[in-house]
């Protein structure tokens, strides 16, 4: 029994600061009550590990990455009698079990049950060996007795103090549905946590809980406060607490209802900074089906016999009656898909899903209090960082959910060093609020969800916002800069004019370009209508006499002819995420929409309907176009994955709907188009399951919309000439971007940048506007015409007739150009073999200086030969070329041949030059092995080029490819014919020793050819 000394709280606060943690944990006052005994028992019916054997540094060395560092957590769970009413289904039990299943093997957890007495059901134990015991202990939480919140808080502190591991983050999760009415005063325990810097994450279940006390405990300890209106919210709250404690960020979350036989599909982008990704689906009422798909489209298959629950050693699957989890280590970069299916449900049920990541790119968000008086502003701060460095120019928003369910968005402004701040003022209504802070850096999304309340009670002193235990919090700006508070999307009836007043952008000086230019094509025929997305550019090309579709890969420079049908293929569009290409095609007599799969190399029709289908746009697997199968142009949308038909609602009959565009997110993302239902063209948009709404209804014509996320741009003639306007689908705000009296037309948008073609100089030029800093750049100044720009990230492409015919040009905004285009083959003249190049060398490795004789064999009647030796030197000439490498290194020699039609073909040879071995072994350098593989992933059959990038004195190389094959060459090429993950080993040896380097090749299954998607249509 622990004796509680009767001391005033003021004296205690002074003494606690002087005592070491062990002494401070031993005796506490009862908050002004008489001396009281606190009964803390240990349940011996559950087997637990008494001695925790974990080897860890006590603060030495670099900390583990967020989300992967180990933590010690005590779960303090209220088991008072009132829980019979507030949690009749024992969902707090499921929530605590979820927390255990989400914990890492190296974490430590304790289970503390409190009512009038306190019972440690499971001491702080290593999860690795005790996951089952921890969940068995949780199952013993009952519902009887009074509520000793202070006792539960104190017992949890003792577990962390006495059994915690030095160097681990530490925290307590405290759940209650009532008011403290017996035992130790909770506020007398709080100074112990404050002294150690250990946060308490408090959860107030229903309105019967002492919310003010829970907020105060969280405030003083630097934790977070969560409000659970009903027990159904507990699963999501415990999931979020775990993410916060582990330093994880969400990248997507969704809450909704799902009906019998309904399927919900979400797209999840995994970027290169992600180390671990966690897919979680919560459904308190019933079991639903939950699947995830790799970026190559194959499903992660479950295997009950496997230790991980799946066929992959890197993916662990965990399930219960109320949740399902996939934990993926070292995930494949790309677009994953999660699918939620209710085929096994017999009623409509609620569900929520989240995807959380441990990554080097992180978001840390905070609010300046957990409770506010009505009308008091809320300050939100955020820090976006890549490891320790702040990230500038992120887009950071805070979406506030009000007590009535309405949403309001605040844009957070950058304050320097990767920090952002904003203010929310609409706090007139009392109740529980929630704010989702979301950062976007290119395609990389991170988000966090915070809770607070507006109450009539006087709010306490401003708390110190925190992140994960022992992590450095984002520092709030003392005086936040003015922020723009965005309103909800206006509620409009069709044909109603939006009420937002356009705000013109002040005239700004035109700057000269500081980036770099690249001519992508130089064929004497016309190349027109380019589109860019990610690292892919497509266009229509007339070099063969009809229009074909060509593709340029910015990463490796490959230029590929996609279509060869003698009919015309025109107006292509591409998705850099899915790699799919769509276009309009008249091979069947009228114009249809076709698409190309890079995985199978095949073309498939999207439409076979009568009439014309034209001007497609694509986002991931979703395509939209204008369609006159019924006599009037109408916007249509389709899902290219067979059997998963979804779409947006039908347009108003009789109106003309043209030039549609679709945003990433597919039919769950917005589609925009120009619409003449009001007598002139206006811009409309729709979303899956919602009625269409106007973006802009005004005088003149609003045409040729383009969309990125929730931002839309279009050309607008309300002022007589054509100007560029910007609209926000979330807020209804509209901004006039240009006000020059000349015409600005055909805009496009990507992130912070807007481009268009502009004739203010008498010809058409390309202009670029940065909507963050307001700079305007004239990209082109050639007296010829440059038209139809398209932008993605750092690159702009357009068609350009400065050479007399139309070519494709590219501009790199930051001055860093992509790989130079190298065509895989032009269209040969009749009777000639295809253009091809074959490059060989008499020697491919040796010591410096190394003289190499390169020999070229070609076909297809080339007219020009261009040589690049990999060290900056170049040459021209047919046949053979001799070149001497003076310095050690690995060089890629490239031959490019060109014919009269403008077609190109290329081939490469890798040459490795080493240092001359020293005569004395002691003078030689010890080898340090390093290798490079290209590509590192792909579908079978996968051919990989391996390059030795080792340093030191080396005279032997030995490669093992992981599938039983090997090579003794300095550089090697190997083809994998079966799917799987292969460990590649390179061992290099020399006079001073040897060294080994490893790499991993992920070989994906061959992707079957998709079925015809013509039926997967729905009107936009």
Q: Give residue-wise pLDDT tens across range 583-620.
A: 999 999 999 999 898 866 788 888 888 888 999 999 87
Rounded to an integer, the average pLDDT of 302-309 is 90
User: For the domain 931-1004, what is the CATH superfamily, name and number?
Assistant: Immunoglobulins (2.60.40.10)
Coil/strand/helix, residue 940: coil
| Nearest CA among 365, 361, 362 for reference residue 476 | 365
Helices 127-138 and 91-102: angle between axes, nearest 10 degrees:
180
Token pair for 488 = 């909800």
Name every residue whose Cβ is closer than 8 Å to that of residue 773 and which is 6 or more positions away in sequence: none
pLDDT band at 758 (very low <50, low <70, confident <90, very high): very high
Query: Among 176, 475, 214, 192, which Cα is nearest to 370's?
Result: 214
* Residues composing the chain: 1020
Query: Are 738 and 771 within 8 A, CB to CB?
Result: no
Under the phi-then-psi rule, with left for phi > 0, alpha for psi from -120 to 50, and beta for the rest, what region is 348?
beta
pLDDT beyond 70 at 476: no
Question: CA–CA separation, 977 vs 848, rounded Å?
Answer: 37
The more confident residue out of 359 and 691 is 359
CATH 2.60.40.10 domain locations along the chain: 836-915, 931-1004
- Identify any residues that bridge with 253 across adjacent strands, giving them in sequence order: 354
Average pLDDT over residues 444-454: 90
Phi-psi domain of 101 (left: phi exceeds 0; alpha: psi -120 through 50; beta: other): alpha
Averaged pLDDT of the chain = 79
* H or E stretch at 14: helix 9-16
How many CB atoms are located within 10 Å of the residue 720 CB?
Answer: 10
What is the structure's pLDDT at 1014?
Answer: 33
| Angle made by CA atoms 958, 959, 960, in degrees to the nearest 5 | 125
- Residues 836-915, CATH architecture: Sandwich (2.60)
482 pLDDT more than 50: no
Which homologous superfamily does the CATH classification assign to the domain defined by 361-454? Macroglobulin (MG2) domain (2.60.40.1930)
For residues 297-313, one letter each, b for 16 or more C-beta atoms within 10 angstroms of the residue's C-beta and e for the rest, the string is beebeeeeeeebbbebe
Rounded mean pLDDT of 18-28? 30
Quote the pLDDT of residue 266.
81
Q: Where in the chain is CATH 2.120.10.30?
A: 517-527+541-787
Report which DSSP code applies to 862: -
609 touches 594 (CB < 8 A)? no
Instruction: Order across the sheet with 40-42: list the strands.
Output: 40-42, 118-126, 108-114, 71-78, 169-176, 200-205, 225-228
pLDDT band, residue 208 (cuts 50/70/90): confident
Check if the beta carbon of residue 186 is closer than 8 Å to that of residue 180.
yes
- CB under 8 Å to 350, separation ≥6 — which residues? 232, 255, 256, 257, 283, 284, 285
Rounded Cα distance, 1020 and 470, in Å: 50
pLDDT above 60 for 495: no
pLDDT of residue 437: 94
Average of per-residue pLDDT across 93-109 = 91
pLDDT band at 34; cut points 50, 70, 90: very low
Locate CATH 2.60.120.380 in the chain: 251-359
CATH fold for domain 71-247? Rossmann fold (3.40.50)
**Residue range 159-165: average pLDDT?**
90
The segment(s) of the chain belonging to CATH 3.40.50.410 are 71-247
Give SS3 for 1013. Answer: coil
More confident residue, 157 or 909: 157
Per-residue pLDDT tens for 716-755? 999 899 999 999 887 788 899 999 999 999 999 998 999 9
Match 């016999």 to its residue by tokens.
Answer: 305
pLDDT score of 56: 24
Q: Is a pLDDT exceeding 60 seen at residue 313?
A: yes
Quote the Cα angle for 404-410-413, to 5°. 165
User: Residue 311: helix, strand or coil by DSSP?
Assistant: coil
Residue that is written with structure tokens 């190399």 in the block: 601
Joined together, the tokens standing for residue 386 give 């890549």
856-to-83, 690, 865, 896, 897 alpha-carbon distances in Å: 82, 61, 9, 10, 10
- pLDDT in the model for residue 903: 62
Tokens 């449900």 locate to 345
Q: Which of 290, 258, 340, 23 is nearest to 161 (CA)?
A: 23
In CATH terms, 517-527+541-787 corresponds, of 3.40.50.300, 3.30.70.2860, 2.120.10.30, 2.40.110.10, to 2.120.10.30
Q: What is the per-residue pLDDT across 919-962, written as a single tens digit (0 to 9) for each?
A: 433 457 888 999 888 888 788 888 888 888 888 888 887 778 88
CATH of range 251-359; options 3.20.20.70, 3.40.640.10, 2.60.120.380, 3.40.50.720: 2.60.120.380
Strands lying side by side in the sheet with 956-960 = 937-939, 993-1004, 980-990, 956-960, 966-967
**Cβ pair 893, 868 in contact under 8 A:** yes
pLDDT band at 50 (very low <50, low <70, confident <90, very high): very low
> Which two structure tokens, joined as six digits, stand for 155?
């017992």
Structure tokens of 134?
Answer: 């921890």
Percent of the chain with pLDDT over 70: 81
pLDDT value at residue 880: 80
State mean pLDDT over 39-52: 34
Structure tokens at 667: 């039919």
Q: What is the pLDDT of residue 630?
A: 82
HSE value, Cβ hemisphere, 13 Å, CA-based, for 944: 27
């Amino acid at each position: 029994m622990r004796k509680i000394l009767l001391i005033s709280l003021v004296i205690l606060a002074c003494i606690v600061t002087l005592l070491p943690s062990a002494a401070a944990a031993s005796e506490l006052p009862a908050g002004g009550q008489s001396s009281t005994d606190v009964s803390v028992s240990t349940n011996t019916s559950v087997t637990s590990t008494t001695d925790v054997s974990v080897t860890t540094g006590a603060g030495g060395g670099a900390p583990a990455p967020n989300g992967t560092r180990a933590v010690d957590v005590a779960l303090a769970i209220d088991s008072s009698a009132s829980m019979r009413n507030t949690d009749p289904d024992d969902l707090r039990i499921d929530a605590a079990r979820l927390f255990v299943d989400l914990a890492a093997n190296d974490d430590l957890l304790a289970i503390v049950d409190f009512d009038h007495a306190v019972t440690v059901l499971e001491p702080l134990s290593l999860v690795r060996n005790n996951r089952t015991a921890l969940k068995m202990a949780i199952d013993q939480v009952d519902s009887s007795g009074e509520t000793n919140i202070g006792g539960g808080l104190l017992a949890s502190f003792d577990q962390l103090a006495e059994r915690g591991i030095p160097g681990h983050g530490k925290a307590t999760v405290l759940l209650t549905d009532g008011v403290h009415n017996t035992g130790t005063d909770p506020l007398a325990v709080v100074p112990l946590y404050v002294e150690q810097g250990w946060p308490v994450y408090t959860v107030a279940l229903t309105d019967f809980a002492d919310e003010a006390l829970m907020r105060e405990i969280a405030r003083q300890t630097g934790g977070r406060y969560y409000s659970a209106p009903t027990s159904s919210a507990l699963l999501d709250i415990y999931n979020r607490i775990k993410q916060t404690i582990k330093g994880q960020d969400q990248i997507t979350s969704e809450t909704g209802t799902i009906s019998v036989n309904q399927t919900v599909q979400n797209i999840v982008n995994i970027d290169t900074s992600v180390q671990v990704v966690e897919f979680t689906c919560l459904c308190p009422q019933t079991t639903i089906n939950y699947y995830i798909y790799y970026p190559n489209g194959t499903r992660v298959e479950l295997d009950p016999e496997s230790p991980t629950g799946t066929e992959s050693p890197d993916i662990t699957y965990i399930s219960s009656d109320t949740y399902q989890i996939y934990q993926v280590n070292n995930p494949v970069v790309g677009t994953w898909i999660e699918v939620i299916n209710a085929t096994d449900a017999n009623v409509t049920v609620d569900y929520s899903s989240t995807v959380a990541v441990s990554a080097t790119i992180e978001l840390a968000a905070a609010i300046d209090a957990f409770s506010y008086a009505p009308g008091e502003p809320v300050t939100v701060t955020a820090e976006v960082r890549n490891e320790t460095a702040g990230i500038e120019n992120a887009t950071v928003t805070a979406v506030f959910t009000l007590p009535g369910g309405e949403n309001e968005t605040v844009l957070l402004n950058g304050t320097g060093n990767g920090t952002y701040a904003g203010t929310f003022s609409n706090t007139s209504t009392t109740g529980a609020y929630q704010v989702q802070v979301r950062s976007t850096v290119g395609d990389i999304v991170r988000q966090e969800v915070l809770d607070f309340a507006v109450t009539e009670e006087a709010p306490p002193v401003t708390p110190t916002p925190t992140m994960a235990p022992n992590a450095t919090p984002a520092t709030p700006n003392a005086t936040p800069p003015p922020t723009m508070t965005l309103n909800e999307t206006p509620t409009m009836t069709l044909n109603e004019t939006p009420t937002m007043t356009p705000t013109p952008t002040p005239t700004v000086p035109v700057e000269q370009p500081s980036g770099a230019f690249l001519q992508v094509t130089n064929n004497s025929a016309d190349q027109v209508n380019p589109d860019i997305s990610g690292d892919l550019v497509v266009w229509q090309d007339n070099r063969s006499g009809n229009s074909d579709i060509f593709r340029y890969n910015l990463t490796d420079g490959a230029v590929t002819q996609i279509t060869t049908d003698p009919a015309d293929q025109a107006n292509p569009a591409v998705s850099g995420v899915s790699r799919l290409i769509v276009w309009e095609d008249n091979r069947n007599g009228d114009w249809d929409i076709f698409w190309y799969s890079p995985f199978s190399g095949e073309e498939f029709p999207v439409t076979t309907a009568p009439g014309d289908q034209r001007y497609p746009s694509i986002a991931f697997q979703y395509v939209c176009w204008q369609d006159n199968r019924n006599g009037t142009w109408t916007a249509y949308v389709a899902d290219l994955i067979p059997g998963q038909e979804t779409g947006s609602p039908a347009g108003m009959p009789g109106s003309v709907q043209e030039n549609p565009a679709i945003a990433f997110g597919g039919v769950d993302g917005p589609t925009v188009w120009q619409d003449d239902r009001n007598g002139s063209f206006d811009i409309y948009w729709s979303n899956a399951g919602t009625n269409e709404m106007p973006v802009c209804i005004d005088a003149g014509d609003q045409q040729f919309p383009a969309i990125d996320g929730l931002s839309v741009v279009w050309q607008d003639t309300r002022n007589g000439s054509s100007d560029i306007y910007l609209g926000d689908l979330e807020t209804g705000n509209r901004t006039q971007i240009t006000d020059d009296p000349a015409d600005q037309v055909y805009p496009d948008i990507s992130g912070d940048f807007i481009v268009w073609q502009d004739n203010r100089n008498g010809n058409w030029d390309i202009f670029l506007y940065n909507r963050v800093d307001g700079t305007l750049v004239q990209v082109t100044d050639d007296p010829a015409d440059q038209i139809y720009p398209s932008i993605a990230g750092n690159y702009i492409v357009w068609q350009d007739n400065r050479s007399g015919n139309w070519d494709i040009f590219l501009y790199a905004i930051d001055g860093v150009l992509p790989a130079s285009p190298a065509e895989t083959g032009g269209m040969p003249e009749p009777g000639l073999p295809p253009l091809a190049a074959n490059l060989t060398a008499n020697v491919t490795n040796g010591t410096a200086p190394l003289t190499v004789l390169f020999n070229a064999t070609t076909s297809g009647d080339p007219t020009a030969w261009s040589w690049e030796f990999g060290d900056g030197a170049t040459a021209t000439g047919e046949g053979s070329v001799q070149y001497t490498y003076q310095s050690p290194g690995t060089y890629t020699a490239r031959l490019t041949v060109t014919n009269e039609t403008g077609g190109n073909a290329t081939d490469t040879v890798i040459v490795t030059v080493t240092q001359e071995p020293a005569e004395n072994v002691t003078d030689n350098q010890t080898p340090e092995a390093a290798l490079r593989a290209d590509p590192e992933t792909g579908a079978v059959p996968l051919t990989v080029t391996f390059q030795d990038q080792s340093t030191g004195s080396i005279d032997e190389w030995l490669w093992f490819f992981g599938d039983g094959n090997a090579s003794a060459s300095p550089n090697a090429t190997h083809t994998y014919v079966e799917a799987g993950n292969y460990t590649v080993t390179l061992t290099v040896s020399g006079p001073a020793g040897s060294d080994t380097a490893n790499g991993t090749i992920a070989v994906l299954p061959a992707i079957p050819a998709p079925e015809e998607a013509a039926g997967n249509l729905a009107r936009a």
